[in-house]
Structure 1
Amino acid sequence: MTARQELLGTTQTNCHASGVTLAAWLDELAGAAQAPSEVAQDDESRTPDALGLLALFAIPIRDGRKQLCAGLRKLRLHCRKLPASDPVLESQLLNHLYARLKLTAERTLALELQVASIQGELHGDTPAARFDSFTARLRQPAAALAILGEYPVLAEQALNCINQWLRFSLQFVRHLAADWRRIQQTFRVPAEVGDITEIQGDAGDRHADGKAVILLRFASGFRLVYKPRSLAVDLCFQELLAWCNTRGASPPLWTLRALDEGDHGWVEFVQAESCETRDQLQRFYQRQGLYLALLYLLQATDFHFENLIAAGEHPVLVDLETLFHERLPGTASTPPIRGMSNSIVSIGILPRVSYYEGFDKGVDFSGLGASIGQEIETPTYEFQAAGTDEMRLDRIEMHTLAGNHRPKLTGDDVSPGSFAAEIQAGFTSMYQLLQQHREALLAEEGPLAPFAAVETRFIARATQIYGLLLEQSFHPDFLRDPEARSQWFDQLWSQAKEAVGLQPLVAAERAELERNDIPLFHMRPGSTDLWTARGERIANFFPQTPLATVRQRLATLGPDDLARQTWLLQAALAKLQQAPPVALVDLTASPLRLDGEEAVEAAIAVGEQLRALCWQDDEAAGWLGVQQRERGWFVDAIGLEEGGLLEVATLLVQLDRITGESRHGSLLAKAIRSINRLIQDSPQPLPGDWRDRAETFTAMLPARQEPELRRETARMTEVMKSTAST
């Protein structure tokens, strides 16, 4: 069996209906290998030096480029309104291809470079000369066949990359040509806009056959955003903003211009700008509060700092595909955890530190809390000494970069912690506006109804998980062995064992990752179904429609919910506020003096506040609290640490004793049941003082108590005896 036959048999895809084929590539290499020469090039191909390590793919790059140029020439025959020259389109789009191929192949080819250097197979007196010797070697047909034979998955993925790039590039240009007249009308494009001078590709993750957001710059400076998805949800949201503005949203919210073309669309580019006055800063954060309330109603998520632009006094949301988001079905959790996941905290705007498994220092990527210079502990690697035979992959320190999500004051940074009052005022204002117009929002012809049929995105897992899996799948070991790479993606099942809602999605996730795409799932607010990136339907994935969930949330807007959300808002913003100097005070020097009646009233007020902030269902109850880690304070469910939930339950018992009433019996029973579940699920033994705490709690209970509370307390006592450490 020849190297060509073996390679074709190893790879999963031997040819494509259109585009560059593996068979043609190998045939040309095999034919050229009969004569000692480099791979032939046409005059317009990049030189071997310019391609660098990508010289291995000179043939399919050349063929892909030829097909791109042919497609552009064909398009010119039918459309003369394309605002770009073919040379600019070709060069800009080719840069996208080179960037993609480097991510796929650079690690493996750098390894082969090191091997050849160590074995003394390269020529030249300098590291750079020896690097050039290696790239020239990559163009030798016999050497190319040998490398491709050793790394059959590399050959397959390189072709997949080239063909995805070719299809998407031609699709983008066709859309630009077909839509240009409507683009001019929608975005009021000036007549002197000029031609396109820059095409910034991969302005986001690649999904669904290599598609990604593209940013365009024209000669006049005009900019435009292309999105390879329906923008129907974006238009519905802009109409909802206008609806809120006409009903008194103050200060009014900016409505963004967008053009929806069904399977793709165009959005105005939002330029980050500074505020000129403090009044503008205050209005910015008031609007941020308005958005928080509106996004809370719409059950939005994933509004991290990259999805928010500070355009002067206007915060602008630039990615709206995660409205009407649903929780993953079958995910077990406690009432406070569910409450937080369905609260304003889950939107992604409020400060919240994300912790990666196995690392101590979290990172805040939120729309309000993200800041420059945060250390990212997850391993990050970068090539050093590129362009030489000393090229190597070294681990580097990574820190978060500056974003455009925070407004500046005349160019200077300003802490959002100084504007907590404005954020809260805006939130309360929009919350009450939505509550006031509840019936209009719920009406069949109301502003929520059009969302029913639009396409939104369901985030099954954090995109970082997919990104890390995909990045590591290009390790040389996995590019040698298709089976090993396939088994690498089996890690998707580990999380799915506990999160059973993921199990129906794993096959689609694997298929997308194996095609070098970030998995993508779509939903429609008016349906319980879920769709994969390839259009496959997973029927009845959700227990109810996302639109029904939002309608239920709208129906529950009221004082109790507002109190809980306001507490979460204040707790999250506390992370951004400048803490006053710590001063120890002797409380015994001037004790608070209350008479009996005042003390009882104060105790009742404390109890009512605890009841208002409690998250409960029919079985369990709990509270959220502010806790501390290395990077500051964060909101989380109160657990077993330092007494935690048991201390809250003890306080409620004390309040009942003070007031002489049994006001909290049912709530106490649910809280103790939650404690029992936490103890059973805890991997660590409880500290010895837990037994003392439990005995104190039991001793404080009244002689007459509800049967449910008596049962749960007796169960807790038994659990204490069996699990508490000495």
Structure 2
Amino acid sequence: MSAITDKWIKLFNNVNNSQELDTFLKNVSGKGLNEWEQLYNDYDESKNLLIEEALEQCEWILYIPQQRLKTRINWLDLYKPLCYKYVQKIYSIVETKNYISDKQTFIESIEEYFFDICMNISYRTVVLEINDLRRNSKLLGESREDRYKYYIDILLRDKEYIVDFYKRYPMLYEVLDQKLKNISFYIQEILNNLEDDIQDIQNYFKVSDLQLFKINFNAGDTHSKGKTVCILNFKDKDIVYKPRNMILDVNLKLFAEEFEKTFGISDTLFIPKTLIKKGYSYVEMIEIQECSTLEDVKIYFENMGKILAFLHLFGAKDYHGENVLASGRFPYLIDNETILHFSENEKINTSVHKMYDFVANSVYSTGILPMTLYSINNNKGMEIGALNSGARRESPYLTHKLSNVGTDEIRIEKVFKEVGSFPSTVRYEGENISCSNYLPQVQQGFEEIYRIFVDNKSVISKMIKKYFNNCETRYIYRNTNIYVQLLETSHHPELLKNRYDFEMYFLRLYEYGDISNEFDSKMIHDEINQLKNDDVPIFYSDSSNNNISNGVKEYILSLEGESIVEKILNRIKIASTSNLVRQKRIINMSFMGTELFVKNIEPLKRKDFGRELFVKRLLSSRFEHDGEISWLAMLAMDKNYDISPMKYDLYSGTAGILLGINSLEIKELEELFSGVMKYTVNYIKDFSSDITYQNIGAFTGIYGYLYALCVLKESNKDISLEIETFIFETIFRTKDIVSNLDNLDIIGGISGILGVLLKVNSTFKGNLDILNLTDKLMKLIVQRLLKIYAEEGSWISEDPGYAHGNYGVIVQLYKYSLSLSTDSNIRKMIIQCVQDYLRKEREELDHNRVLKIRKNAKYYSWCNGIVGIVKAKHYLLINGLSDKLLSEEVEYYSKDILTNGLNLDNSICHGNVGNLVILDSILPVQTNQFENAIHQESNQYLLEKMTYETDDWGVLTGEMGILMANYKAGRKCLNELLLLN
């Protein structure tokens, strides 16, 4: 294998040898590996002549760029051969344009743009070059600053050095030259168009005298051979120039005007004034402005809610914080390419697919709602939603920054770059305003517009056809961030030495598509052609016929399925009050998931709803497909959230739902059992074949499902599953993960798994294979837990709690000891550990008898507070642990909880209802007392749920758990579940 081939193989993820590379290259380019290597070698031979011819003219040597650039761009002389010819070209054009007020200033702004481009593309190569010269002692000077100065003042002014530099990096020269050439043509196009359109611009924007000062090109990525949105800075007014026909924006404005007139409302869609021409447009420059009053702030958020409704019903995407601009109380939509978004029809095979499709087509996907761009690798997130907190933002991804500038030790550092606030962030009295206090206004605006659509489908559908047929709209084939990353990495010095290294790198895109699919093949081919121009690829579709074309209007292919307009009409057709509730839940969850949720409106008037309403809500919120039944759920952590189909766990998933249905024996819910069971079985089969330490736990993973199967088996439930085989195989294939699991707690760790294994043992006493397997794994877990206590004096530092702390470990260890003979050494060791822990706990108590719990935890809760601890102590007490103080402790702390333990939450896990359920199993008082208290707290829970609708249907934090608490059998099931009995 040649060195060239070896180098190329390393560029790909799925190519492992020369034969595979040869096949891949033939499939994607029509040329085999030998042909590519020949092209590589031929280019090596011809590149010297190429560079020498390009730099043969000497005029650039005498060219002196403006002095102020030197403070930012030290390597000006390196770019002179490239910038000179294009600056001269622009200069000759500018001389003929009388509407440019100060030609010298205008030229200097273009010149600065050219040099900035060169710097941004080449800095990696130049930094490498300087360091190579330093390491080879080719830079003269006493200090590192002197040697850098030598590079700037001597080498970069030596024509032979510059020629040699570009001979070594010929693709750098080609990329820079093509980029500047394309942009020069674009500037010439703008200036010529402007000359033709001066009178129209003056009339349309009501400006008397247009004198162009400069063009600001810092408004976005380049597309379609160097074209980008830019700002024309005139003497008295700024106007945005967009290199495409903006008929869609014009029609949006006309649609909004007719909508407002038809339905007697105002302030619906805010679109800048737009003058369209053939292939380009002039757009009103909207300035960011503060709100004048707090009332205007409220109106702004109400207007955002209205916009959210339109965008949702249009199927719009990508309306993040950069694409909405706050001008007083008006949120302007400033980039509407994706407001009519084409998306391929997804084939719905399961309930999971149906729910993912629902979320993908919900308000969640518009980009307006609060959301976080999260980097798993860097464990950092950044707000990107148009609705946001207004707080300082820092990119979650590392970006490049030059350090040691001015020395020959200059290098590139990776840093987290601070990012400015969004233009969509509303401001008042000099401060950014968080959306957190304005959820009611967002909901109000959303509901107002959505209900108009529900009640006037026919009229609005006609308006949609009238204004949006045959409109050009952006087609998103791949995330723009991927293109940006590809372009940045294509500027690596090693890829700039030979054209065919450079081109080979872009062929990686074929690994992320289906080569055998005609559409993918054509799209990737076009993507690569655009990337080779150092442009971000861009594509468009027609709203009526699904024809896809690239940025220079070359037709690629027509997609099958409904057109964009047909999809909008269907969305309007299925709009309903029930869907309105679903969308409002997602809006609420987006605020909660990003920790921007504030309870700032009065709940509904207090009312006795009764248990039946819980059942009705569970029934009405389910998703069904092909006999499968489930619900949506939200997972939130560190201001990042995900709305997705309910998983199969005990905590908030379908395993818990199944236990709830089984315990309550409510006819309407029992009819769901087989559908939920089928969903759970298929979900595990399709999505959880690769079990990791993250989804293995007793409450959060697959072992919780095993626990549920045991309970259902003991209830003689017909679940159409080979339970014993499934349980054996699951334990067998996860035993190594369990053995190496660092987490010790009961929620996701080995203590909880120990509890489930004990349950499996008691349920399947006659299955020797299961018993042998579980015995071995339990012994391993117990030995490990005993060793940890012997070495550290506890299991989980500074957390005595039940769910994530020491008492969870204690209960499962003690439960295991009960399965052993009284003379067992392991049993004695466990009891000794438990008694020792209790002794140390009591020694640390002060006269107030306040138990220490983990930092920032709720004191009166099951999960991390004293309620779980009391539950554990009660378990030890009733199961015979020899300890004279336990009985009094259980009674004392139970009464403390009953007297002082009410808090603002009502969940089973960490709220009042859960506390009462647990106390009901401990205190010898009238059951009616607890039933009445649970009913009152459940009623309060439901009042808040109906005020702040969310998808939270599980057992430990959701509505199924609260429903179970209202029934004696449900309370019994919950108490057993919390102990994994």
Question: Per-residue deviation at 1:624?
Answer: 2.3
Counterpart mapping for 1:340-351 below 5 A:
340-351=359-370
Question: Per-residue deviation at 1:696?
Answer: 2.9
Aligned residue number for residue 419 of structure 2: 400
Counterpart mapping for 1:591-606 below 5 A:
602-603=611-612, 605-606=613-614
Match of 2:53 among 22, 27, 44: 27
Q: Is the contact made by 1:353 and 1:364 (CA closer than 8 Å) also made in structure 2?
A: yes
Aligned residue number for residue 241 of structure 1: 256
Aligned residue number for residue 696 of structure 1: 711
1:545 and 2:566 are equivalent in the alignment: no
Aligned residue number for residue 471 of structure 1: 488
Question: Per-residue deviation at 1:48?
Answer: 10
Match of 1:102 among 119, 130, 135: 119
SS of 1:334's partner is helix
Question: Per-residue deviation at 1:568?
Answer: 0.6
1:266 and 2:273 are equivalent in the alignment: no
Question: Per-residue deviation at 1:405?
Answer: 1.2
2 CA distance for matches of 1:71 and 1:12?
Answer: 37
Match of 2:88 among 66, 73, 78: 66
Question: Per-residue deviation at 1:623?
Answer: 2.7
Q: Across the two proteins, how many residue pairs are aligned to each other?
A: 675
Q: Is the contact made by 2:629 and 2:675 (CA closer than 8 Å) also made in structure 1?
A: yes
Q: Is the contact made by 1:607 and 1:655 (CA closer than 8 Å) also made in structure 2?
A: no
Aligned residue number for residue 482 of structure 1: 499
2 CA distance for matches of 1:657 and 1:7?
Answer: 74
For 1:490-538, what per-residue CA distance to the aligned partner results, in whole angstroms no more than 9, with x for missing partners? 4323433699775542212222112101111111111122112243323
Q: CA distance change for structure 1 residues 370 and 449 in 2, over 3 Å: closer, same or farther?
A: farther
Match of 1:231 among 246, 269, 274: 246
Q: Is the contact made by 2:661 and 2:669 (CA closer than 8 Å) also made in structure 1?
A: no
Aligned residue number for residue 572 of structure 1: 590
2 CA distance for matches of 1:44 and 1:360?
Answer: 44
Aligned residue number for residue 3 of structure 1: none
For 1:201-246, what per-residue CA distance to the aligned partner results, in whole angstroms no more than 9, with x for missing partners? 03111111111111133333x2211111110111111112212221
For 1:524-576, what per-residue CA distance to the aligned partner results, in whole angstroms no more than 9, with x for missing partners? 11112211224332333242211111110010011121111111111112235
Aligned residue number for residue 217 of structure 2: 201
Aligned residue number for residue 107 of structure 2: 90
Q: CA distance change for structure 1 residues 156 and 697 in 2, over 3 Å: closer, same or farther?
A: farther
Q: Which amino acid aligns with 1:519?
A: P
For 1:11-44, what per-residue CA distance to the aligned partner results, in whole angstroms no more than 9, with x for missing partners? 8999xxxxxxx98863264576xxxxx9632577
Question: Per-residue deviation at 1:383?
Answer: 0.9
Question: Per-residue deviation at 1:719?
Answer: 4.4
2 CA distance for matches of 1:280 and 1:562?
Answer: 26
2 CA distance for matches of 1:44 and 1:472?
Answer: 29
Q: Is the contact made by 1:208 and 1:533 (CA closer than 8 Å) also made in structure 2?
A: yes
1:432 and 2:429 are equivalent in the alignment: no
1:637 and 2:645 are equivalent in the alignment: yes
Q: Is the contact made by 1:649 and 1:672 (CA closer than 8 Å) also made in structure 2?
A: no
Aligned residue number for residue 460 of structure 2: 441
2 CA distance for matches of 1:299 and 1:99?
Answer: 38
1:41 and 2:74 are equivalent in the alignment: no
Q: Is the contact made by 2:659 and 2:711 (CA closer than 8 Å) also made in structure 1?
A: no
1:624 and 2:650 are equivalent in the alignment: no
Q: Is the contact made by 1:363 and 1:375 (CA closer than 8 Å) also made in structure 2?
A: yes
TM-score, normalised by the number of residues in structure 1: 0.84
Aligned residue number for residue 111 of structure 1: 128
Match of 2:272 among 252, 256, 268: 256
1 CA distance for matches of 2:43 and 2:195?
Answer: 40
1 CA distance for matches of 2:498 and 2:278?
Answer: 40
Identify which range, 614-623 or 173-182, moves more after superposition: 614-623
For 1:671-695, what per-residue CA distance to the aligned partner results, in whole angstroms no more than 9, with x for missing partners? 3354234455444365433212133
Question: Per-residue deviation at 1:718?
Answer: 5.3
1:300 and 2:316 are equivalent in the alignment: yes
SS of 2:500's partner is helix
Q: CA distance change for structure 1 residues 194 and 384 in 2, over 3 Å: closer, same or farther?
A: farther
Match of 1:282 among 291, 298, 303: 298
Counterpart mapping for 1:71-220 below 5 A:
71-73=93-95, 75-76=96-97, 80=98, 82-124=99-141, 127=144, 129-135=146-152, 136-189=154-207, 191=208, 195-220=211-236
1 CA distance for matches of 2:45 and 2:542?
Answer: 34
Q: Is the contact made by 1:656 and 1:663 (CA closer than 8 Å) also made in structure 2?
A: no
Counterpart mapping for 1:613-692 below 5 A:
613-618=621-626, 620-642=628-650, 644-647=652-655, 649-650=657-658, 653-654=661-662, 657-659=665-667, 663-664=671-672, 667-668=675-676, 671-672=679-680, 674-684=682-692, 687-692=702-707
1 CA distance for matches of 2:468 and 2:67?
Answer: 48
Question: Per-residue deviation at 1:112?
Answer: 1.0
2 CA distance for matches of 1:123 and 1:306?
Answer: 48
Aligned residue number for residue 722 of structure 1: 729
Aligned residue number for residue 337 of structure 1: 356
Structure having the higher Rg: 2
Q: What stretches of structure 1 of length at least 5 have no aligned partner?
A: 1-5, 15-21, 33-37, 582-591, 704-709
1:495 and 2:503 are equivalent in the alignment: no
Aligned residue number for residue 811 of structure 2: none
Q: Is the contact made by 1:571 and 1:626 (CA closer than 8 Å) also made in structure 2?
A: yes
Q: Is the contact made by 1:7 and 1:152 (CA closer than 8 Å) also made in structure 2?
A: no
Aligned residue number for residue 21 of structure 2: none
Q: CA distance change for structure 1 residues 111 and 497 in 2, over 3 Å: closer, same or farther?
A: same
SS of 1:310's partner is strand
Q: CA distance change for structure 1 residues 116 and 129 in 2, over 3 Å: closer, same or farther?
A: same
Aligned residue number for residue 455 of structure 1: 472
Identity %: 19
Q: Which amino acid aligns with 2:272?
A: L
Aligned residue number for residue 313 of structure 1: 329
Counterpart mapping for 1:352-431 below 5 A:
352-356=371-375, 358-369=377-388, 371-431=390-450
Q: Which amino acid aligns with 1:468?
A: Q
Aligned residue number for residue 507 of structure 1: 525
Q: Is the contact made by 1:275 and 1:409 (CA closer than 8 Å) also made in structure 2?
A: yes
1 CA distance for matches of 2:355 and 2:530?
Answer: 34
2 CA distance for matches of 1:506 and 1:264?
Answer: 26
What RMSD over aligned residues (CA atoms) do the two structures have, in Å? 3.4
Q: Which amino acid aligns with 1:364?
A: E
Q: Which amino acid aligns with 1:61?
A: C
For 1:443-464, what per-residue CA distance to the aligned partner results, in whole angstroms no more than 9, with x for missing partners? 2xx2443322121112222211
Q: CA distance change for structure 1 residues 651 and 688 in 2, over 3 Å: closer, same or farther?
A: closer
1 CA distance for matches of 2:470 and 2:663?
Answer: 51
TM-score, normalised by the number of residues in structure 2: 0.63
Aligned residue number for residue 762 of structure 2: none
Question: Per-residue deviation at 1:178?
Answer: 1.7
Q: Which amino acid aligns with 1:395?
A: K
2 CA distance for matches of 1:460 and 1:205?
Answer: 16
Identify which range, 655-664 or 106-115, moves more after superposition: 655-664
Q: CA distance change for structure 1 residues 371 and 488 in 2, over 3 Å: closer, same or farther?
A: farther
1 CA distance for matches of 2:101 and 2:716?
Answer: 79
Q: CA distance change for structure 1 residues 370 and 167 in 2, over 3 Å: closer, same or farther?
A: farther
